[in-house]
Amino acid sequence: MRKPIIAGNWKMFKTVGESLAFVSEVKGKAEAAGVESVICAPFTNLPALVEAVKGTTLKVGAQNLHFEDNGAFTGEISGVMLKDLGVEYVIIGHSERRAYFAETDETVNKKVQAAFKHGLTPIVCIGEKLEEREAGQTKNVCKVQTEAAFAGLSAEQAAQVVIAYEPIWAIGTGKSSTAADAQDVIGYIRELVTGLYGAETAAAVRIQYGGSVKPNNIAEYMQQPDIDGALVGGASLEPASYIDLIKGAE
């Protein structure tokens, strides 16, 4: 049985003070039995957040990591450093990182391996651009990105990966994929994992939908057999909305 997971991706929003105010608002309210609630915050906010969520069921994630443990990589943060802070999750290969920071399928794979090396759970983002969808390439794009992300992982590691299927045209646009379309692609992604590792591993992998998920549409996605949660940007920033997302996922 897969435990649903709602992850808020705050992107480049919130100061430390704003993060702490958010946690004190949602504490005790963004907790639904059987739903894992994660906040993926900017690096600067992680130490304070890890401290603030102690004693709650909220978990903290980063939005990126470097694949090396340390070295001359100005401005980067490694898995060693995240683990040292007490961070549990890390988003890898978000489409904004692929588009603006030159992340490739190869670096995504290296980062997934680095996450496992340091005991972090990777939330691996995949998804097609609008022109790829219009050209009927959605599943092909997801196949290439999924296979690359999982390269070299053991079945035991693969089972722990969280995949976030985010059609790029649906991110921050208010144009969400229909629940049926999202299920179609996510069901296909699970078949891909079955092909790579077998049915038992594929049945354990959690696959989220992301792209304009809001409190008023989360339930439709959660009703789909292969959708195990959501990676949420805009609607995760306000405490009331975040609480409603968690409740809606129950």
Ligand X SMILES: O=C[C@H](O)COP(=O)(O)O
With CB under 6 A as the contact rule, which of the stretches 54-62, 140-148, 154-162, 229-237 interacts with ligand X?
A: 229-237
How many angstroms separate the CA atoms of 23 and 209, rounded?
A: 24
Compute the least distance from the CB of residue 200 to ligand X, in Å. Answer: 29
Look up 166 and say whether it is catalytic.
yes
With CB under 6 A as the contact rule, which of the stretches 25-33, 74-82, 132-140, 211-219 interacts with ligand X?
A: 211-219
The string of DSSP letters for 94-116 reads -HHHHHHS---HHHHHHHHHHHH
How many angstroms separate the CA atoms of 126 and 163, rounded?
A: 7
9 binds ligand X (CB under 6 A): yes
Annotation-wise, does 34 bind a ligand? no
213 binds ligand X (CB under 6 A): yes
Annotation-wise, does 10 bind a ligand? yes
47 neighbors 77 (Cβ within 8 angstroms): no
183 binds ligand X (CB under 6 A): no
How many angstroms separate the CA atoms of 116 and 177, rounded?
A: 31
231 binds ligand X (CB under 6 A): yes
Whether the CA torsion 78, 80, 85, 89 is positive or negative: it is positive
Hey, what are 118's tokens?
């340091």
Q: Which of residues 162-181 bind ligand X (CB under 6 A)?
A: 166, 171-172
Compute the least distance from the CB of residue 214 to ligand X, in Å. Answer: 8
Pairing of strands 229-232, 58-62: unpaired
C-beta of 59 vs 197, nearer to ligand X: 59
- Binding residues, as ranges, are 9-11, 172, 212, 233-234
Q: Which residues are catalytic?
A: 94, 166
